[in-house]
Amino acid sequence: MITLYEYPKCTTCRKGKKFLQENDVEFESIDMVKQPPEADTLFELVERSDRDVDEFFNKRGKKFKELDLKERLDEMTKEEKIELLSTDGMLIRRPLLYDGSSVVLGFKEEEYKQFVTSRN
């Protein structure tokens, strides 16, 4: 099962969702603001992505700036970062696409094409 974590008002999320729909990809959509992924789910996503946890932060977001995270991230442990991400979906880079093994952060059409073709 494919899960798309999105913020419905986000233009980039709508592009990702539209791409999946136009390519007949079945997926479950979760509003990451109303229902942020839990810490254990985020830990799994980070581990499966082979990315640094810092890449999961929406660094251009208002919430990231309000919390002055640019300065604070270096002082936090991986666990603290994941716990923080799980408290507020607006902190998470979006959209986030997950199929149980692969993770795609953000929307780049080429990455989505690779994701879709790797599943066939």
Give the model confidence (pLDDT) of 23-59 as tens digits. Answer: 999 999 999 999 999 999 999 999 999 899 999 999 9
For the chain, list the strands marked E by DSSP.
3-6, 28-31, 96-98, 103-105
**Burial track 9-33 (b if 16+ CB lie within 10 A, e otherwise):** ebeebeebbebbeeeebebeebebb
pLDDT at 119: 76
pLDDT at 13: 97
Please report, for residues 42, 44, 71, the alpha-carbon distance to residue 89 in angstroms, rounded to integers and kept in the order given.
11, 16, 20
Tokens representing 66 are 């309000």
Q: Report which DSSP code applies to 34.
A: T
The rounded distance, in Å, linking the Cα atoms of 106 and 49 is 13
Residue where the block lists tokens 């507020």: 88
Tell me: pLDDT of 118 over 90.
no
Q: What is the pLDDT of residues 65-92, one digit of tens each?
A: 999 999 999 999 999 999 999 999 999 9
